Amino acid sequence: MPSLRFFLGKLGRLIATIFAITSLVFIVLRVLPGDPARTIAGLDADEREVAALRAELGTDRPLGEQYLSWLSATARLDFGASFFHERPVVDLIRERIPLTLSLSVAAFAGALVLALPLGVAMAVRRWGAVDYLGMGFSHAAMALPEFWLAILLLLGFAVLLGWFPLFGAATPRHFVLPVVALALSRAAVLVRLVRSSMIEELDKEYVLAARAHGLPEPRIRYRYALRNALLPVITVGAIQFGYLLGGSIVIEQVFSLPGLGRLLLSAIYRRDFPVVQGGVIVTAVVFSGVNFIADLLYSAANPKIRMR
């Protein structure tokens, strides 16, 4: 297990990152857009209305004071109330986030299930038929923007073949195509990493030594080499999970799934800033949390890191 010092160090980093995220969101979404009160009230509102709104939102106070109250509210998960829904933002997010998270987790699992065996098979028979097919798949899937891949899946399996429903989230069947679209895109990246990492391990001397001792090849590959080859996959896997969270924003739009992405987008169309702020912060914090867990997993799997 990672030492306490290591854990605390990583935790400190996580807290610093979350602090940086909230500050960045404050600058980008609260300071740069100018006057939120003017935006909400509309261009034809008279000056008195706007001033009243400013007082209500607290945007008439000094920027430093606003920043501090913003930080303390954010720490309490208080993102204010949605202008449009007239409900607390945190409730809206709580309703929508399970769909987005389950979509991402399912796609991540799918990507691993595809990328791990394929990557290993490619590495074991380097420059073989499987290797070329795998590289072809990876190149092709990386060139297809996720949302177009999703559209193609819709055209093929929902419109032409009619195997899956078109839009919505009514049944588990509705989630098959979105998950496949997200998983294929991520697998395209992961498979290359598994392959190159596995090739590197198979070239190492301990593999040669194991072979010289006459250990069975599957055991060398899967018990020894794969275990070491998976280390970089943990770190990159976490980053890929972040892409999944971002990608699901777009994919939810393709399939009309009522997740966090759609909440965020409709909020942007309506200039409903509290919802945009809350959604962006929550997504970024989840992503940082995943990276944090990946760091811990990495250190648990790799004694060399722990000792530092």
Partner 1 sequence: MVEDWTRQQILTAIGTTLTALAVTVLVVVVVFAVYAPLLVAHAPTAQNLDARFQPPGTEGHLLGTDELGRDVLSRIVYGSRASLGVGGIAVLLSSSVGMALGLVAALAGGVVEDTITILADAVLSFPTILLAIAVVSVLQYGMLQVGAAIGVVFMPVFARLVRAETKAVREEGYFRSSRALGSSLLRTVALHVLPNVLPRVVVQATITFALAIVIESSLAYLGLGTQPPNPSWGLMLRDARNALFHAPWLSVFPGLVLALTIFSLNFLGDRLAEHLGR
Residue ranges that bind partner 1, judged by CB under 8 A: 16-17, 20-21, 23-25, 28-29, 32-33, 139-140, 142-148, 151-152, 154-155, 158-159, 166, 242-243, 245-247, 249-250, 253-254, 264-265, 268-269, 276, 280, 283-284, 287-288, 291
Beta carbons within 8 Å of 258's beta carbon, 6+ residues apart: 96, 99, 169, 252
Q: Report which of 269, 258, 288 is spatially closest to residue 95, judged by C-alpha positions.
A: 258
Nearer to partner 1, 1 or 32 (CB): 32
Q: Report which of 304, 296, 118, 290 is spatially closest to residue 228, judged by C-alpha positions.
A: 304
Nearer to partner 1, 14 or 52 (CB): 14
In angstroms, give the least distance from the CB of 146 to partner 1.
8
In angstroms, give the least distance from the CB of 255 to partner 1.
11
Q: What tokens appear for 308 in the block?
A: 């530092």
In angstroms, give the least distance from the CB of 8 to partner 1.
18
| Cβ-contact 244, 182 below 8 angstroms | yes
User: CA-CA distance, 260 to 203, in Å (whole number)?
Assistant: 45
In angstroms, give the least distance from the CB of 253 to partner 1.
6
Beta partners for 88? 81
In angstroms, give the least distance from the CB of 158 to partner 1.
8
Nearer to partner 1, 291 or 299 (CB): 291
Nearer to partner 1, 18 or 198 (CB): 18
Distance of CA 186 to the CA centre of its chain: 11
Q: What tokens appear for 155 in the block?
A: 């055209």
| Cβ-contact 211, 105 below 8 angstroms | no
User: CA-CA distance, 272 to 68, in Å (whole number)?
Assistant: 22
Nearer to partner 1, 30 or 52 (CB): 30
Nearer to partner 1, 44 or 127 (CB): 127
Nearer to partner 1, 25 or 120 (CB): 25
User: CA-CA distance, 254 to 244, in Å (whole number)?
Assistant: 15
In angstroms, give the least distance from the CB of 242 to partner 1.
5
The residue type of 190 is: L
In angstroms, give the least distance from the CB of 159 to partner 1.
5
Beta carbons within 8 Å of 71's beta carbon, 6+ residues apart: 22, 23, 26
In angstroms, give the least distance from the CB of 181 to partner 1.
13
Half-sphere exposure of residue 308, counting CA atoms within 13 Å on the CB side? 8
| Cβ-contact 225, 292 below 8 angstroms | no
Nearer to partner 1, 120 or 280 (CB): 280
| Cβ-contact 218, 117 below 8 angstroms | no
